[in-house]
């Protein structure tokens, strides 16, 4: 009878332990799957997306969101920007050109497929300072790859920072491959004001 009682206690302890171990393991697995395939988080590093995103601002990144014109994306710049020599060096930029698009700049205006886009998300000073006059072909002459590009290639995007005069972006190193994109960034409501939040979250078309 004593042996039976000991076995019973062991069984009871095992069941009790498993009753909290299993939910913890399941929770961890679900969290990892969500992070890998659905949602992750990122933090802005530097001033390249000012005034809409500022240094150290936190964002949620939706991995499965459709990338559109003016979407703000987070991508691994290693292998894209020659200066990003470490793996998992994440950049935050705004998509200007989708695959097949032509993109050009003149007098502070950006043209996509010959049509001037609305850049009310940045000031006139930010639109004109440091932007220059160019098209993809003229820019691509100095790129490490995709030289003499006229259009954005299939499976790639052309992205710029909002703060053009300080942004290290597609003007200098070219296109962002789709497989480098972590997802579309959305800012939290407590991180910023409504105008800046809308400029990140609601402009994509």
Helix or strand or coil: residue 40? strand
pLDDT at 131: 83
Give me the residues paired with residue 41 across strands: 60
How many beta carbons lie within 10 A of that of residue 126, not counting itself? Answer: 21
Where do the structural domains in the chain lie, given as residue ranges? 1-37, 41-201
Report, as an integer, the average pLDDT of 13-41. 61
* CATH topology classification for 41-201: Umud Fragment, subunit A (2.10.109)
The residues assigned a catalytic role are 48, 93
* Distance, C-alpha 93 to centroid of its chain: 7
Cα–Cα distance measured from residue 37 to residue 31, given in angstroms and rounded to the nearest whole number: 10
Can you tell me the distance from the alpha carbon of 67 to that of 1, in angstroms, rounded to the nearest whole number? Answer: 68
Identify the pLDDT of residue 18. Answer: 60
Give the mean pLDDT of 58-77: 95
- Please write the tens of the pLDDT for every residue from 124-135: 888 888 888 999
pTM of the model: 0.83
CB-CB contact of 28 with 20 (8 Å): no
Residue 34 pLDDT exceeds 60: no
List, for residues 98-124, the tens digit of each pLDDT value: 999 999 999 989 999 999 999 999 998
């Amino acid at each position: 009878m004593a042996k039976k009682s000991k076995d019973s206690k062991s069984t009871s302890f095992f069941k009790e332990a498993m009753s909290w171990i299993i939910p913890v393991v399941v929770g961890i697995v679900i969290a990892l799957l969500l992070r890998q395939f659905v949602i992750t988080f990122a933090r802005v590093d530097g001033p390249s997306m000012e005034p809409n995103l500022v240094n150290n601002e936190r964002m949620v990144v939706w991995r499965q969101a459709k990338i559109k014109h003016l979407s703000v994306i987070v991508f691994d710049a290693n292998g894209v920007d020659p200066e990003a020599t470490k793996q998992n060096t994440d950049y935050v930029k705004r998509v200007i050109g989708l695959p097949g698009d032509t993109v050009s700049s003149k007098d502070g205006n950006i043209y996509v497929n010959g049509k001037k886009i609305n850049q009310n998300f940045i000031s006139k000073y930010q639109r004109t300072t440091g932007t220059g006059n160019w098209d993809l072909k003229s820019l691509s002459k100095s790129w490490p790859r995709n030289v003499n590009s006229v259009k954005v290639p299939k499976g790639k995007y052309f992205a710029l920072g909002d703060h053009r005069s300080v942004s290290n972006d597609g003007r200098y190193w070219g296109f962002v491959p789709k497989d480098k994109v972590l997802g579309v960034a959305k800012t939290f409501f407590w991180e910023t004001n409504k105008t800046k939040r809308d400029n990140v979250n609601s402009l994509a078309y």
